[in-house]
Structure 1
Amino acid sequence: MTPAADAGCSPAGGQQSSTPPTGAGTSVGSGGWGWSEWNASVSLSLSGQSGGLLKKPRTRCRFSEYVVGATVIGGDIYDHESLVAAFKQVDVVISAVGHHGPHDLEDGQLRIVAAIKEAGNVRRFVPSEYGCDVEQAARSAAVLEPARSILLAKVRVRDAVRAAGIPHTFICSYWAHGFVLPRLGDPHVDGPPATKATVFGDDATRAIFVHEADKAALTVRAVDDPRALDKILYVRPAANTCSLAHLVRLWEDKTGRALDKYYMPEEELVARIRDSPLPLNFQLAMVHATVVAGVCDQTVDAEAGGVEATDLYPDVNYVTVDDFLDGLKEGITVN
């Protein structure tokens, strides 16, 4: 990989390939420690080359501090010429730009697409997705606003990438460990419950959880894998597939403490989505999409370009839900 440009911020790890990437890429980031730094760290460990394009200059020192050895490439997502100049220095672009809504998301990603097209040398682009398959999810009438608008914006970005003829890989890695597991699936709270837990859905509806480290490691491997070229890569480790209800029971087993469980009815969840501000309403809408629309029970459609990460990379040793909760239990005191 030529230094990679990462447009965004997030974590990566897991068992890595015995064959290192061949070029350099950049991770385009929006600031703060997260997805960009994880991608850059894993890229460095695999190929020895990585770069970070940061749209907020004040994040430069922080990025360099956490990703020692990475080259910081100055740029601004809202400055087309600076993006083009940055992308001409790399051959892989991994985007992890955040957003505050569908317009912000689509506008930022389309700016990256336009700059990549003009630069003309990028051999692989990974747009900022890393959730469910947005095209499958958008076809479900059960997906509610504001999740629907954000998913449709990501669909339009996919359409633009394909129309521009940009070599790409779309990553579907569903729920991130670091966000949902400490909350046991409840976006209302900031950490594990002490006495009470809200449960969404039942055991018939499953979610998929992928550690940020594994997500980034797979992303970095995929950008140099011809089998993932112009494909949708689904990351669905079997050990990390379970219901949100099971998460609560698993935490009870690990702590030895029974929780007072409130099973939220769908009608109340819909009302909470309607009455909550961003980003909570989006997070709750994605919980609803998981337990009602079944967006984590998507199929890998080979005819539509779908490939399964566990098939392509059987050597990956994923951080499991069980492992993560064990670490969480060791790191906190449950009152």
Structure 2
Amino acid sequence: MRVCLIGAFSGNPDEGYKNIARHLADYLSRDHELMEVENRHLISAGIWKEMKTFSPDIIHYITAPTQSSFFVLKTAQKICGGDVKTVISALHPRSHDLFSNSFTRRYVQSLKPDLILTQCREIENNFTSAGCKTSRLPNGVDTLRFTPRNQEDRIRMRESLGIDEEKYVILHVGHITRARGIGILRDLQNADRDHQVVIVGSSYFKPDHTLWNDLKQSGCLILNTYFRHIEEIYGLADCYVFPTPPANSIFMPLSVLEAMSCNIPVVSTPFQGLTDHFSEGEGLRFFTEPVDLIRHIEEYQQGVRDTGIREKVLPIDWSVIGRRLEGEYHKVAQEC
């Protein structure tokens, strides 16, 4: 099968869309002819000529999506011609904006692709009500890479970063911006002198330096660099916190899945992709109020570290997600 995958591929894979695009591309390239199209290059006439020459069977756009996503995909379908099928991955809550008024709803109906891959019930229902064919496909995690670490590795990583072996380490991986809601990590750092909050930033967005200074002054350890072996950083943590408002990240945040795969207790805001896919318990808790975040962490501190949370993500290893995606491609390709 000839697959044209449109998404974000360039630079370090320390951002959700890039990570998803890279994993899907790596899997598909094993058994299919694959053309990767960097979404930033869609303004180039040359890329459209290359796409037409490639003559794909499937054009798949990894996106929010937005109105422009539907226009791009419909244009690509017309340019390539033939029986090419189109697929959109609906990864971000901003896709709800498409149903905020009758105009954008009609826009979706008129430019709908052959298949929309969704990650939560509400957005699936929205697209279905607009006449779109949908299927559920969660994000994945590399369960062979993100594995529980032994005590020796944990101590070694803490020593390398100057973290006291006895500290209760609370980890967050993500962009250092106010929209991500990480100001609350300052409160966690101040709540208990036995806490050590560690924040790993991203090279994708420029950090908010005022926020950075506030977090640093409170005692948070900030590592704003790209870690090729980020799995080692997860290994030093006692708990993983994802406090981002659900509208400001993808439906299924990858860092949450990575922490779960490392068997680290997680406290997260209730992202629809997470709450629809995983039940609470066994090391996974959701919160909306700061007091609940603190309570869940206190509960984790008093309990055992070996949670069994890893079992929740084993069924969504990227290899499984890749096979499921292939199945979706074959089904849509066979439709008239």
TM-score of Structure 1 vs Structure 2, range by shorter chain: 0.3 to 0.5
- Rg (Cα) greater in structure: 2
Question: If the length of structure 2 is used for normalisation, what is the TM-score?
Answer: 0.37
- Greater relative contact order (Cα < 8 A, sep 6+): 1
Question: If the length of structure 1 is used for normalisation, what is the TM-score?
Answer: 0.37
